[in-house]
Structure 1
Amino acid sequence: MYKTIQADVVVCGGGPAGINAAIAAGRSGAQTVLIERYGFLGGMSTAALVYPWMTFHTMSGKQVIRGIAQEIIDRLMRMSASPGHVRDTVGFVHTITPYHPEMYKIVALDMLKEAGVRLLVHSFVDKVQTEGSEIRSVRLTTKSGKIEVNGRMFIDTTGDADIAYLAGAPCLQGRDGDKLTQPMTMKFRMRGVDLERVKQYMLAHPDEFYKKTPFEELETLPLSGVLGFYKHWKEASLPINRDQILFFTGPEEDEVLVNTTRVQGLDGTDVEDLTEAEEAGRRQVLLVAAFMRDKLPGFEKASISSVGAQIGVRETRRLDGVYALQADDVVQGRRFDDVIARSGYPIDIHDPSGKGVTAAWVQGDGAYDIPYRCLLAKRITNLLAGGRCISTTHEALATTRLTPSCMATGQAAGTAAGIAVRHGVSPADIDIKELQLALTQADAVLA
């Protein structure tokens, strides 16, 4: 016999999207359970050291993501665990948001408890029980045996569309044709970095750094990120299919987060591929760290201080939902009647097989709408998605996968689930105006 738990809303995946979904559902009055496979919350933001959060703003500096996501930032700032939104000295976006991952774990726990959410960590979903077109329960493997969680509404915030896939909802993976996904990256931190020396080198050698770096402001801006050292990287000829170094500063004054390793051609939903990726990523970390220490100005006394608990995964499965957000929707800044979130992050595709990154910025006012239909599954009537696995094309995923966007779609999914429970209808049948009103009242930006 399995132990059974009853809930109104079951959220699977405790990353930023799942945290925000569960908080929103709990605040709606729905009895909510959040399931997470690790012993801590935060998903890629904590387990894989994805840092900083980017971006809450358009390129002109207009904030288009607030709501629960901004509440989290405000709490972190009060704890001196985030400086808030700061200028991106890489120049790829207008702002980035550094944060302390250990503090984020606690803030998330506090907010979930305040919302009345029941949390189950160290719990891995290995089966989804369906009846007709509805999910009845998810089965968990835990240290204390099997647990079955029954619910009325289910939200997939696993990042990999695990719940949708196990329930039989249509899913897609990778780009059209070869199905290859964006590469995985093993991120790591280094301490002992002389960031002032790094900045002075940048000012003296601007041609060696990203063309959008705001050099005219760099003297007065705190250094938040660096993309370049092209000459040093080329001369090193490391066996990593990338053409530059990328790192972000913090959270400590002498610390950086390095986003440079690249593991390509492997499937993040295949356990043998993931095993290979973890090994390859950790070996690359040692190569990159040694290169930075030996060759880059400012890194002479630096050393590795932490490495991700797992490799960072940009793309795996995603929902093939009622509507798939298109690249043109993003670039043209398209508006939708059923908007539930906005984003100003550009399309940012790390090449699945080559060295480069393909980018396309949002036109118009610098933001695009994410429609509610992207959260709705086909075939399964009581399933919503939030975060990285919402319904998009491969190209559009390259913007919606970023954490602030995931936070926003997670909040929308949780709010929608709460409304569906209250009215006793499927998520597809709720009044979109009621959902939009609830979101705007919770300080989400929809216009």
Structure 2
Amino acid sequence: MLSITVPAFAEEPPHDYDIVIYGGTSAAVTAAVQASKMDRSVVIVGPDKHLGGLSGGGLGFTDTGNKKVIGGLSREFYQRVFNAYRKPEAWKHETEADFLKKKLGMRMTTKDAMWSFEPSVAQSVFDDFIRENKIPVFRDEWLDREQGVSMVDGRIESITMLSGKTFKAEIFIDATYEGDLLAAAGVSYHVGREANSTYGEKWNGVQTGVFHHQHHFKGLEISPYKTPGDPESGVLERISTDPPGEYGSGDKRVQAYCFRMCLTNEPSNRIPFPKPDGYDPTQYELLLRIFEKMDPMHVFHKFDPVPNNKTDTNNHGPFSFDNIGMNWDYPEASYERRKEIIQEHKTYQLGMLYFICNDPRVPKELQQAMREWGLPKDEFTDNGNWSHQLYIREARRMVGKHVITEHDLIGNPQNPKSIGMGSYGIDSHNVQRYISPEGHVHNEGDVGVKVPPYQITYDAIVPKENECTNLLVPVAASCSHVAYGSVRMEPVFMILGQSAGTAASIAIEDKVKVQNVDYDKLRTRLLADRQVLEFRR
């Protein structure tokens, strides 16, 4: 979890590199590795104590889309995972054969790569990347977001941490989920949903009446009131009394976050779900009403298998692990407030597991089944066996040289200056839980739309030239809310990280602004490094 220490300032010379990468996500690792391979001095500095972001933080059941468009270092990551599981000693709690007998286990293994893995294995792969390329990493270093970015003539000259450490570079890369560096540098960004009218989209903005996945209350007709049907009795916890907004209108609300939990049903490796500090069973009253209306065993639908009898457990159902409406202020929040939000999400999620296991009102079949699960003793051993990375599905999004919209995805256009591809469907999780005019509970914001493989233009990771000329942004990239619902997948972040590292290196070599990188030169190098820039069926 977050730990912010601000020691007394100590005078020391700036750390000077060709490229400074702020943030420790999977994109940060691939950007750093690529820059190192191109003989640039590069450093990763950021708040993270562990590298790899969510790829090492519990998201082991990869959202791949079409695996054929995942190339370069992104694919190499999954190939290294594959190789790690070729070693017999990797299978401590089940055999590889038993894992492959699981329907989803077989689907997540291909001839050259493995797309399902334990967090500890992912962490090891990321650490190997860094060690092999001798990349320095400054961990637990927090950007001074108020005064820590020094700008000269539209360029970032240096960035300073709360610890007092200063880092200088020719090119900077913001590889954070939050877009903290781009914001501190004065680069334009957006938080929340644009109105459909902004970019002529269909699936942006408020999406009342849209029920694409199984995370909705349609047909259940559940009362939101403490005494069913009686508004005077008050509203159950975690239901907003605000109107949802007009269909298609924009707002500042953010799609829900959760932890992608690594759980296990292996008795020798299982820790029973502890009762979290601040546990409050009233937070789950709505869940009990859902159990009266639908099969309670739906809770297990997204216990997706990873090796050694573990899971990547994600949200599923109308009331689940997504903490709807409790993160809207996270993107712009102070570090201290973010820490509170992260802790509240942990309390909510761990509290739900404890509630299901222990509250006498929970259906017995579900309760007995959930008691077979727990936290794995051998994962996140320095964080109470709980993930160190909240799933920041969306925070700030840069408004850069080109904004990717649903038109770039759905129409399968040929985009100029491709630096990689995406293919996962547009996937936005719910944004709010509200009371309908009929007096029923509803969720809103869930969107799921299939897309073909699509190209991602270089101009989506580049700020406007009049704002900053030496910054690249591969994670909080320039996308509308709905387009980001597809772009935001971990394989894509690694693809864009590598491409950002390549572009940064070329910009330094040619002494040009990032906006003026020679695309033909960039394309040639990306193809040489096995990036997939167009899709051929």
- Name the TM-score class by shorter chain: 0.7 to 0.9
More deviation in 437-446 or 100-109?
A: 100-109
Name the counterpart of 2:37. Answer: 27
Does 2:25 correspond to 1:10? no
Shift of 1:339: 0.5
- Write out aligned runs for 1:197-236 (5 A): 234-235=290-291
Name the counterpart of 2:330. Answer: 268
Name the counterpart of 1:140. Answer: 161
- Mapped contact 2:60–2:312 kept (Cα < 8 A): no
Aligned partner of residue 432 in structure 2, secondary structure? coil
Aligned partner of residue 380 in structure 1, secondary structure? coil
Off by >6 Å, runs of 4+ in structure 1: 92-96
Name the counterpart of 2:531. Answer: 444
- Write out aligned runs for 1:269-308 (5 A): 269=331, 270-271=333-334, 273-290=337-354, 293=357, 295-296=365-366, 298-305=369-376, 306-308=385-387
Give, as a single letter, the amino acid of the residue that structure 2 aligns with 1:182: Q
Larger Cα Rg: Structure 1 or Structure 2?
Answer: 2
Give, as a single letter, the amino acid of the residue that structure 2 aligns with 1:138: I
Query: What is the number of residues matched between the two proteins?
Result: 395
Give, as a single letter, the amino acid of the residue that structure 2 aligns with 1:438: R
Name the counterpart of 1:224. Answer: none
Name the counterpart of 2:262. Answer: 189
- Write out aligned runs for 1:18-417 (5 A): 18-47=28-57, 49-55=58-64, 57-58=65-66, 63-80=68-85, 89=104, 97-126=115-144, 127-142=148-163, 146-176=164-194, 177-192=250-265, 234-235=290-291, 245-259=301-315, 260-265=320-325, 266=327, 267-269=329-331, 270-271=333-334, 273-290=337-354, 293=357, 295-296=365-366, 298-305=369-376, 306-354=385-433, 355=443, 357-362=446-451, 366-378=452-464, 379-387=467-475, 389-417=476-504
Aligned partner of residue 445 in structure 1, secondary structure? coil
- Mapped contact 2:401–2:459 kept (Cα < 8 A): yes
2: CA distance, partners of 1:139 / 1:233: 51
From the superposition, tell whether residues 50 and 254 of structure 1 become closer, same or farther in structure 2 (CA, over 3 Å).
closer
- Mapped contact 2:419–2:455 kept (Cα < 8 A): yes
Any idea what the Cα deviations from partners look like across 1:85-122, whole Å, max 9, x if unmatched? x99849x9999811222232232222223334222112
Name the counterpart of 1:226. Answer: none
Any idea what the Cα deviations from partners look like across 1:398-430, whole Å, max 9, x if unmatched? 111110011111111011001111111111111
Shift of 1:316: 0.8
1: CA distance, partners of 2:499 / 2:40: 14
Shift of 1:245: 4.8
Name the counterpart of 2:278. Answer: none
From the superposition, tell whether residues 286 and 112 of structure 1 become closer, same or farther in structure 2 (CA, over 3 Å).
closer
Aligned partner of residue 109 in structure 1, secondary structure? helix
From the superposition, tell whether residues 160 and 237 of structure 1 become closer, same or farther in structure 2 (CA, over 3 Å).
farther
Q: Percent same amino acid at aligned positions?
A: 24
2: CA distance, partners of 1:108 / 1:311: 18
RMSD over equivalenced CA pairs, Å: 3.1
Shift of 1:341: 0.7
Any idea what the Cα deviations from partners look like across 1:240-276, whole Å, max 9, x if unmatched? xx99852211232254534441223322231465344
Name the counterpart of 2:517. Answer: 430
Shift of 1:285: 2.1
Shift of 1:19: 0.6
Shift of 1:2: 3.8
- Mapped contact 2:53–2:389 kept (Cα < 8 A): no
More deviation in 114-123 or 70-79?
A: 114-123
**Structure 2 gap segments, 5+ residues each:** 1-10, 195-249, 268-286, 358-363, 377-384, 434-442
* Larger relative strand fraction: 1
